[in-house]
Amino acid sequence: MDDQKISALWTHLHWLSVLAQQGSYTAAAARLGVSKAAMSQRMAELERAAKVTLVQRTTRSLRLTEAGQRLVDETRASFEQIEQSFAQVRDLAAQPSGLLRVTAPVALARQQLMPLLADFLKDYPDVRLELDMSDRLSALATEGFDLAIRHTARPPDTHVAWTLCETQSVLVASRAYLRRQGEPQTPTDLQAHNCLHYPRSQETPAWAFEPRNPQHGAERITVPVSGNLAANNSEALREAALTGAGIALMPDFSAQAALRQGKLVTVLPDWKPVGAFAETIYAIRPYSPHVPRAVAALVAHLRQGLAAGFKV
C-alpha cells in the first residue's frame, strides 16, 4: 500500500483505538460524535485495507483480535502525543476554551459544586462544561473525563490528585426527634435509637467514634447500630433526618445548610465520627505531562471556592 493510501487510514486507526478504549461500537461512536453506522463502516474499510480481521463482534460482546490489539498498542503512543501537542497549541490562546468533561458525586455536586461551576463558566465563557453526577467510580481515561471530583481517602497512584478541601463526618438529628426519643449522651446510647445509615456491606452496620476531649479517654468506640432506613446517598439520609425519622451520619457538606438553618442539630458533639466517610475532597485526572489550561483553571477555581471547607 502506498503512502497516500496509508495516510487516508489515519482516522480509521484513531477510531480503532477509541473502539478499544470504549469496548463497544455504540460507546465509541458516542465518544467520537459520529453514528454507529459510520463507526462500523470505518472498521470494515480498515480491515479490507489490512487484509485481516481486527475486531471480533458477537451480539453480546466485542473484542479485538491479536492483529487488532497489536495495531492499537503500537499506535497508541503516537495518538496520545498528537492529542497532547494539539492541547498545548490550543492553550496558547489567551483564555481557556473547549469542552471539559467532569464527573462528581451526586450530593456534593448538587449542594456545593453547582454554584462554583456556574461562576466558573461566567469567568470563562469559551469553556463548555459537561457534568456527570454519579456516585459510581468512573474510569477517567476510558470514559473520556478530563477531571473527577472525588471524596476519597486514597486517590489512585496512576493519577494526579489536587486537594480541594478537608471534610468530616457529622452525626445529626432534628430537634423533634430528640425531644421525642431523648438525646444520646455516649456513643453506646445509639443502640437504643433509630440510626439512618449508609450501607457498606451485608454486615451489621457499625459507627466508630473518638473522643474530642481527653477527659473521655483515648479509646475508639465502635457501636453496632440499626435503623429502618439505609440509603447510599447522603441527601436521602439528610431528608429523612429532617422529617424526624432518626439520627443520621453523613458528610458535613450534606448537612451544612440544614445545620446553619437550625433544622438539624449535632448529636454527640464531644465525639468525632471516624471511618465512615473520607476526610478529603480531591480533583483527580489521569497523569499526563501537560495539563490543559481549562483544567488547571477549573481546579484553581474549585480550590478557592472550597478553601473554607463546610464549617457551620
Which residue carries 457538606 as its cell?
253
Whether the model pTM is above 0.75: no
- 64-90 tens-digit pLDDT: 889 888 988 888 878 777 777 776 666
Question: Among 40-54, 84-98, 224-238, which is the least confidently predicted range?
Answer: 84-98
Which is higher by pLDDT, 4 or 307?
Answer: 307
Distance separating alpha carbons of residues 290 and 208, to the nearest angstrom: 42
**For residues 226 and 205, is the Cβ–Cβ distance under 8 A?**
yes
Secondary-structure class of domain 98-167+279-305 per CATH: alpha beta
In which band, very low, low, confident or very high, does the pLDDT at 92 lie, cut at 50, 70 and 90?
low
Question: What local confidence, expressed as pLDDT, does residue 121 receive?
Answer: 96
Which residue carries 451520619 as its cell?
249
Question: What local confidence, expressed as pLDDT, does residue 242 receive?
Answer: 97
- 173-219 tens-digit pLDDT: 999 999 999 999 999 999 999 999 998 876 789 999 999 876 656 68
Secondary-structure class of domain 169-274 per CATH: alpha beta
Question: Among 93-97, 156-160, 171-175, 229-233, which is the least confidently predicted range?
Answer: 93-97
User: What CATH number belongs to 3-90?
Assistant: 1.10.10.10
Residues of the chain with CATH 1.10.10.10: 3-90
Question: What local confidence, expressed as pLDDT, does residue 177 receive?
Answer: 98
**Residue 141: helix, strand or coil by DSSP?**
helix
**Residue 214: helix, strand or coil by DSSP?**
helix
**For residues 97 and 127, is the Cβ–Cβ distance under 8 A?**
yes
**Residue 188: CA count within 13 A, CB half-sphere:** 2
Residues of the chain with CATH 3.40.190.290: 169-274
Residues of the chain with CATH 3.40.190.10: 98-167+279-305
- 14-67 tens-digit pLDDT: 888 888 888 888 888 888 888 989 988 988 888 888 888 988 877 677 888 898
Distance separating alpha carbons of residues 82 and 86, to the nearest angstrom: 6
**Residue 101: CA count within 13 A, CB half-sphere:** 12
| Long-range contacts of 21-24, Cβ-Cβ distance < 8 Å, separation of 24 or more | 21/141, 21/142, 22/142, 23/62, 23/142, 24/62
- 102-158 tens-digit pLDDT: 999 998 999 899 999 999 999 999 999 999 998 776 667 667 789 999 988 888 788
